[in-house]
């Protein structure tokens, strides 16, 4: 069994340690003897996204997002075709924003998004920045899980029809907005850095299973010893609860 991963803009979109997500996916596959191949794709490189089981794009600041915009837009149809072919997509922060209609930065520059989904992102100086630790309650294909992470974004993402989860602590898509991220069964977008996956082993395994399903159907993953991961998760929860 093999998992093929495409990490796009690895050299540009790596805010707050997002590369850690790739390291977690690799380790959890290797611990189960699942072969995993991680390929990268930078600006101008030729890759057929539909050849991969999982597409990952991390976060970046406004400058980094501006650098790769034209390249990403040129790949729009390839991305849509890959999603239709059941490639699973994990998007963090700036990557998440790009799949919406548009993004207005803090200088009022409007950057058109891929327009794959209806949500959009604006910079609103009348509200505060969404920054700090965050916990949400999410339902992933029928299973309810609590997810913890770190958010730091001025962008306010609105019009999300399928949020990833309900905020327990923190802000989410908007300042004190109540809901975080996006999930529609095939694409998972979130503002959670930290990185996301080391403290959320259930989410990591969920993503592995969804990606493997493209070529292998439903896969039952062997259980791993997640004592350390769950302890880190609990520490974050207690910190946010003020315990």
Q: At what angle do helices 62-74 and 76-84 cross, to 10 degrees?
A: 70
Specify the pairing of strand 35-41 against strand 120-123: unpaired
Q: Which are the contacts of 16, defined by CB distance < 8 A and separation ≥ 6? A: 59, 150, 152, 193, 194, 195
Q: 2 - beta bridge partners?
A: 35
> Known catalytic residues?
93, 193
- The angle at the Cα of 87, spanning 86 to 89, to the nearest 5 degrees, equals 125
Residue 129 annotated as binding site: yes
Q: Please report, for residues 78, 140, 187, the alpha-carbon distance to residue 83 in angstroms, rounded to integers and kept in the order given.
A: 9, 18, 8
Q: Please report, for residues 116, 163, 188, 215, the alpha-carbon distance to residue 184 in angstroms, rounded to integers and kept in the order given.
A: 12, 8, 7, 20
Question: From CA 234, how far away is CA 148, in angstroms rounded?
Answer: 9
Instruction: Please report, in range form, the residues annotated as the binding site.
Output: 129
Instruction: Please report, in range form, the residues annotated as the binding site for substrate.
Output: 129
């Amino acid at each position: 069994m093999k998992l093929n991963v495409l990490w796009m803009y690895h050299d540009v979109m790596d805010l707050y340690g997002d590369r850690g997500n790739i390291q977690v996916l690799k380790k959890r596959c290797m611990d189960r003897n699942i072969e995993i191949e991680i390929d990268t794709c930078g600006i101008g490189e030729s890759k057929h996204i539909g050849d991969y089981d999982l597409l990952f794009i991390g976060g970046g600041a406004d400058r980094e997002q501006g650098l790769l915009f034209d390249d990403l837009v040129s790949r729009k149809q390839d991305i849509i075709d890959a999603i239709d072919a059941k490639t699973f997509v994990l998007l963090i922060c700036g990557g998440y924003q790009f799949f919406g209609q548009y993004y207005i930065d803090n200088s009022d520059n409007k950057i058109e998004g891929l327009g794959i989904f209806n949500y959009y992102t604006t910079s609103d100086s009348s509200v505060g920045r969404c920054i700090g630790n965050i916990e949400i309650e999410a339902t992933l294909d029928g299973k309810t899980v609590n997810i913890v992470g770190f958010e730091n974004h001025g962008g306010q993402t609105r019009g999300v029809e399928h949020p990833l989860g309900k905020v327990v602590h923190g802000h989410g898509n908007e300042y004190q907005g109540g809901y975080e991220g996006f999930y529609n069964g095939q694409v998972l977008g979130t503002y959670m850095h930290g990185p996301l996956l080391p403290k959320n082993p259930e989410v990591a395994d969920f993503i592995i299973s969804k990606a493997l399903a493209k070529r292998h159907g439903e896969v039952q993953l062997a259980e791993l010893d997640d004592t350390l991961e769950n302890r880190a998760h609990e520490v974050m929860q207690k910190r946010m609860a003020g315990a």
